[in-house]
Chains A and B, each alone.
Chain A
Amino acid sequence: MTRKYWKGLEELKETPEFIKQRENEFPSQVSVEEFLSDDKLNETSTARRDFLKFLGFSVAAASLAACEAPVTRAVPYVIKPENVTLGMPTWYASTYYDGSSYTSILVKTREGRPIFIKGNKDFGITKGGVNPQIIASVLGLYDSERLKNASIGGADVAQSKLDAEVISALKSAKKVTLISNTVISPSMNRAIGTMAADLNVNGATKFEHITYDAVSYSAMREANLQNFGAAILPSYDFSKAKSIVSIGADFLSTWLMATEYAAQYGSRRNPEKEVEGEWMSKHFHFESTMSISGSNADYRGMIKPSEQAAVLSYFIKGLGGACAVAANVPASAEKAAKEALSSLKKNKKNALVVCGSNNVGLQLLTNQLNSLLESYGTTIDLNNDLKLFQGNDKKVQAFANQVIAGKGSDMIIFMGVNPVYTLPNGAAFGKALKGVKTTLSLAAYADETTTLCSHASPDHHALESWNDFQVKPSHYAVAQPTIRPLHDTTSALESILVWNGKASRAGKDSNVAYDYIKETYATIFPLGDFAYTTHNSCENITVAAATALTYKSAPITNLPKSGALEVILYQKAAIGTGVQANNPWLQEMPDPITKATWDNYITMNPVEMEKWGYVTTYDQEHGLDLATVTVNGLSVTLPVYPLPGQAINTIGIALGYGRGANGEKIGKAAFQTKEYGGYEVGENGLHVPIGANVFAFASSNFELEAVGTIKKVDGTYKIAATQIHHTVMGRHSIVRETTLDTFLAKDKEAYNPAHTLQKLNKEGHHEERPVSEFDLWDAHPVEKIGHRWGMTIDLSSCIGCGSCLVACQSENNVPVVGKDEVRRGREMHWLRIDRYFASDEEAAVGQRKDKETFSYSKAELAAENPKVVHMPLMCHHCNHAPCETVCPVAATTHSNEGLNQMAYNRCIGTRYCANNCPYKVRRFNWFNYPSYKKFTEVNPAQDDLGRMVLNPDVTVRTRGVMEKCSFCVQRIQATKLVAKKEARMIIDGELATACSDACPTNAIIVGDWNDSKSSVFASSNSKRAYQALEEVGVKPNVWYKVKVRNEVNELLSSIQVVKEAPHHEKKKGQH
């Protein structure tokens, strides 16, 4: 029973005055005319002069009030929602799967908005493994060009209308094909299975589900079918492999389940493990285009795709196996192959060989090699197979050909695929779609395929929907929504159920998918607690031990053909297959190897480029030469990029570019923009796509290696790269590298010497003392008082994947500036990853071969097949910061916790600090990125919806001010506050910066350096720790750890010896 309250006795008694007053609660409004025409006005005492005074005052007051910034769209909560505390983040455990990458994630939401994604290090099998695409995917949620409604023939319709049409089409169709990417969702599989069962009554084949992966791993499944009788993908364990041999498999970035492998690999790249009785893995890589994995290898051999078989055969024969393929390893891979063979022989069972090719023959050879090594059962697990990439090339191609021939299905449903863009014969397929009666797409964008479909029923963004996954038989995971659907989209799972008559729509707050997933869950875990599983995001399933599969050999045929020019199609870490090509964070992420942004290009070894007369250097104003590559009669024209390490007579081109070539609305940032804003418009009147699509170069059996020709054409093309100088010029105080043997056998002085200066000792003699003992300035009072935040970055574990860079951009509202500005050297990334190639003048990156003959001009050129070091670099928070002394207005100062802080409000923008920064980490706001017209298309902060991704804890900077890494000071403050509220000290490991949070290999450690028990303190005191540019005397709070390569490098070992003490010092005291 509801109680009634009275405002007063008058209301209780309902007096006539009260009733009158109540009816007249809001006094009726008098219009200006009425007011002025009021006769009584003349009787009032306000004189004309007074009126003018009032008028003047009110105009002045109004204009003063107008000077204040208007508050726009600030809607407070009226009732506090559960789990939402203003200013406090709420984290959700979830799972990411986009058809190629899978990982357990944590999603940070603020006031109901997901704003940050990181890997889940506590639960799941990926142990925090992420890649840049996963971290950047949160931005896609707020893309204003996502499809917002169901549509028929391009016109928005109510979902119910679409549903009705689809249901009737399903009924009337003769043949229905659902083509999707690999579905690893048990619920979705169940729903599809039900649909198939319902439509294929009495053994009919009306409904068919075809799995299609843009980049196929079908050959591996086929090879396993031939060798083991099961078309599976095994699980690999890189943490058990002492010897890793990869033939063109970029297992740290894009190959199979790289999110899992990166963490496994990283755990075995720590040379200190060797000291503790553990071991460090030895990694051999044979490839054509340098990949992230190749750049991290201890030994890297350059081979053409057609030579992969020879390398495999060399190992097989070396291990005593029989192989019909000639084992003629090319000279450019001979040393690596030799070392690899001896390592394989040594480690046998504990070795792992992987091959990235989608060629059955090569995969059969790889299987043969692994079985010779007996690595099945140790590093390779055939029983707990990987459910990713179930696509069957033959089926897909047969289907595509049928459609093209006009004989296929009369209803096609596209789910999570974009075959018009990704099929080698995509263009023909697209044309043929018009002939299909009903085509339905569930894609979130009006992409290449969807625009050609008759019906579109856009799926939710992954962060808006429930989902479940089973990536391996032993592992079940849940994805939970972190925000109410932003648009009138519908969950794909719900759609399938609705169209099959198993459920009905229930609007935005529909529970259909959720209930269905719970049902599925109950069948897998009859006693399970779904809420608990959701909280952890995953659950393990005990799998009955399967029978061991036995290897039986199979005939090897159809190995890759050789040619004068072999073309390799590869995936970049940021763009992959182009699903997120509209994501400006990813487009602007420098490629880990080439450091180029916003483009794809032809990679060629500079040695070869010199020979053919291509320019091998580029900068802001000097572009690269264009060339036309022709494969199978198709050609694209792209700039030729000088990439050291590219095998001679091969070129590489990245997939995933050239999206939206027919003007499809796939996102604002997906097209080239002009110098002063706006899109570039091509001759066809359409927006010019970024780069070119080379999926068409793939062979009909989806092999990403081809034979083609290249021809230089007139003209150059300006590349936007964040790095235009590629070697470290032998600067040992920036990058330090050593071999495992040197690290284990020799003193720190040998490979990580302290920089020394001479000083007079008490007896008046010169003495070499470490530079840390010299101080030009008074020390900041941060030693052993309160906190002092520090960071160590292990160059040995850093694989250069770029996850930290994107995480930093996401956490700190770093603006996207677009291609033209990156080209001008004005990218805003607070954290960059410097990539250094070794030159022929260096024994290792940063170590001169010979001090006497060292030539700077030669040191500028990378070696033909160089060693690589990835070096993440952000503000070093120097205790004697050179930027702080030069700022005229003290806008950048030192905190008593050792942080170099930037007061944006105080900055007047002289840029003196940036000039005086030895590390060049300061970034200036050259324009007003959140509003200047040049950045409308690229910067998410200029989009009403895109702005939602901004982190409310971090100021969006205005033009004319300097910014830089703050060590995520907002996180430091939050961590301190939590500890303070709980009246305790900060626990070591409690604080994580965005970069350390994102790092899949735990290369970045942050913490309180004043806490002598902290891991950052221990790490900074390790034998490998050094401070970059220590001799400048700026006393940074960032330490690097020497890169240790598990290789034999006699030259390096002979250089890295403990130097004899200088003569005069030895005879000290005798003077």
Chain B
Amino acid sequence: MQKEAAIREPLILGHKSYHDVTEDVCRPIEDKAPRMWYILFGIALIIGLYGVGCILYLLGTGIGVWGLNKTIGWAWDITNFVWWVGIGHAGTLISAVLLLFRQKWRMAINRSAEAMTIFAVFMAGLFPLIHMGRLWVGYWVLPLPNQFGSLWVNFNSPLLWDVFAISTYLSVSLVFWYIGLIPDFATIRDRAKKPVAKKMYSILSFGWSGRAKHWNRFETVSLVLAGLATPLVFSVHSIVSFDFATSVIPGWHTTIFPPYFVCGAVFSGFAMVQTLLLVMRKAMGLEAYIHTKHVEYMNIVIMVTGSIVGTAYITELFISWYSGVEYEAYAFLNRATGPYWWAYWSMMTCNVISPQLMWIRKLRRSLMFTFFISIVVNIGMWFERYVIIVTSIHRDYVPAAWSMHYPSHIDIGVYIGTIGLFFVFFLLFARYFPVLALNEVKTILKGSGQSYKESPDYHKHH
């Protein structure tokens, strides 16, 4: 068993026993859902269905129902795509990278973070699909053997790399998440009284028996998957950034993009985790497991990645001037002072200034403040993508083609709809899945539980 310095804050508060952990995690699944859950689920479902309706209208009528034009071929669609992919970054980072670095505090948050990742990637994946003019032949992006002659995909296209990157990321994340869920499903199965639930959970738990051999394999697979997933954390958003970085458009054609995008993604992903968990811990009574210390840790990640993102913004500005390229210089001048100045300065305020407040200990340990900032960060990160995509192409090389982008209500409907769908998925997850990796949490109970840290025995060992 791993020991932790006594001066470190305990990760599990209250005097929890192993059984308490099981009880705390399983209670929401076994009890009837609270009224609030139904209300939230209903709202999310309505919004989600509205989004689905907008998508169906889009597919039935044409991309023209969006506010795009001859100059601006991508706007909200790809902005939303990158935004959701970015959000989907935190989960794997928490479960894979933090696992490799043996950060035990991740155990309280990794399950929901991973779930969030998967749902966010679902939403992200939706946009490249529906943004296609002819979705029904969208499968042509897959290198499938075909009877069209020697037709093959274009391996030069970053959009194709996206297909591979996103699908790989989604499948690895899904497997990783599921592997982690198996022992917890088994616990629920063992406690389930209703036959249907028992049947379902026993199918889901893959016949887990809790034998040492199973645990051994579980640990090994987790480690292997963590090893696999770690490069993916960096590759996915790097590749998404190639969509822009390999182009010839000033403002897109930027070598700084891969690291900048990855940091931005982690930044927004953690913010989303904060948003979700701060509500969930309260609603599901998990304050003992996810508490100020966890929030503080995450705020530090937000602060660090936010600072990197801020540095990247300023580097971009400097390079655009230093390069002496007329179009590059204008693209950035236009971002800051052109017709979309408000988007640029929203982005700067939300992403550069707000994370710097986390240097103040009082603020980064304030739950209300954290919740507020987490939303600000995600607004900022949405604007970041909007600024990169729209303000770069709305005024690129040929001034006669310069244009403005105005979103249509379908643009807005699809975006809001994906948020609704995301919450539909997340609420279902919170209702039926163990939101905390209960078996993993138990492993740190004796090392980092409050009662053990406070007991005289604990100090003796050191």
Contacts and interface: CB of A to CB of B under 8 A. Distances in A.
Interface stretch (A303-311, A360-368, A654-662, A916-924): A916-924
A93 to B, nearest CB: 37
Nearest to A1028: B398
Scoring B62, B74, B134 by chain A CB atoms within 10 A of each residue's CB, the highest score goes to B62
Interface in B68-83: 68-74
B153 A909 contact: no
Interface in A599-656: 619-621
B103 interface: no
Contact of B69 (A825, A888, A959): A825
B73 A919 contact: no
Interface in B51-66: 61-64
Contacts of A821: 64
B153 A873 contact: no
A890 interface: yes
Given A889-B153, A889-B154, A916 B63 contact: no
A733 B326 CA distance: 10
A858 interface: no
A288 interface: no
Contact of B157 (A620, A888, A920): A888
B251 to A, nearest CB: 11
B157 A928 contact: no
A757 to B, nearest CB: 11
Contacts of A915: 73-74, 247, 249, 393
A911 B159 CA distance: 11
Contact of B134 (A723, A727, A888, A908): A908
Contact of A926 (B63, B74, B140): B63
B70 A873 contact: no
A183 to B, nearest CB: 43
B64 A826 contact: yes
Contact of B133 (A824, A916, A961, A1032): A961
Interface string B130-173: 01111101101100000000011110111110010000000000
A963 to B, nearest CB: 11
A724 B403 contact: yes
A909 B134 contact: yes
A447 interface: no
B68 A911 contact: yes
Nearest to B333: A856
B64 A911 contact: no
Contacts of A888: 141, 153-154, 157, 159-160, 163
**Chain A interface secondary structure, helix, strand, loop or mixed?**
loop
A427 interface: no
Contacts of A914: 70, 73
Interface stretch (A679-687, A879-887, A1019-1027): A879-887
A525 interface: no
Contact of B249 (A620, A621, A856, A916): A916
Nearest to B59: A960
B64 A910 contact: no
Nearest to B338: A856
B241 to A, nearest CB: 14
A65 B157 CA distance: 38
A961 B137 CA distance: 11
A1034 B24 CA distance: 63
A703 to B, nearest CB: 36
A834 B160 contact: no
A725 interface: yes
Given A729-B330, A912-B73, A907 B399 contact: no
A907 B133 contact: yes
Contacts of B156: 885-886
A279 interface: no
A778 B247 CA distance: 17
Contacts of B246: 885-886
Nearest to A892: B154
A911 B74 contact: yes
A428 interface: no
Contacts of B74: 911-912, 915
Contact of B399 (A832, A836, A924): A836
B340 interface: no
Interface in B150-203: 151-154, 156-160, 163
A908 B333 contact: no
Contact of A826 (B69, B133, B157, B398): B69
Contacts of B333: 856
Interface residues of A, number: 60
A731 interface: yes
Interface in A867-907: 871, 873, 882, 885-890, 906-907
B18 interface: no
Given A724-B402, A960-B132, A886 B71 contact: no
Interface in A723-742: 723-725, 727-729, 731, 733-734
A775 to B, nearest CB: 15
Nearest to B64: A926
B133 A920 contact: no
Interface string B97-131: 00000000000000000000000000000001001
A1032 B253 CA distance: 11
Contacts, number: 176
B contact patch SS: loop
Interface string A369-406: 00000000000000000000000000000000000000
A123 interface: no
Given A827-B70, A908-B138, A926-B68, A886 B400 contact: no
Nearest to B157: A888
Contact of A619 (B70, B133, B404): B404
A925 interface: yes
A923 B157 CA distance: 20
Contacts of B397: 731, 734, 918-920, 1029, 1032
A911 B133 contact: yes
A1034 B248 contact: yes
A918 B400 contact: no
B368 interface: no
A35 interface: no
A108 to B, nearest CB: 29
Nearest to B247: A916
Contact of A856 (B73, B131, B330, B404): B330
A835 interface: yes
B406 interface: yes
A932 interface: yes
B158 A886 contact: yes
Interface in B379-425: 393, 395-404, 406
A1034 B406 CA distance: 30
A91 interface: no
A909 B396 contact: no
Contacts of A882: 247-248
Interface string B320-350: 0000001000100110010000000000000
A907 B141 CA distance: 10
A890 B132 contact: no
A919 B137 CA distance: 28
A906 B140 contact: yes
A37 B364 CA distance: 90
Interface in B221-247: 243, 246-247
A132 to B, nearest CB: 19
* Residue from the set A734, A909, A932, A1034 with the largest chain B CB neighbour count within 10 Å: A909
Contacts of B402: 724-725
B157 A887 contact: yes
Contact of B247 (A619, A886, A908, A932): A886
**Top 3 A-B pairs, shortest CB-CB distance:** A909-B133, A960-B133, A926-B64
Given A731-B326, A908-B135, A918-B248, 7 more contacts: A621-B406, A725-B400, A888-B141, A889-B140, A915-B393, A918-B397, A924-B133
16 contacts: A620-B69, A724-B404, A733-B326, A825-B69, A834-B401, A856-B333, A886-B156, A887-B157, A888-B141, A888-B154, A908-B137, A916-B248, A918-B396, A920-B397, A960-B133, A1029-B398
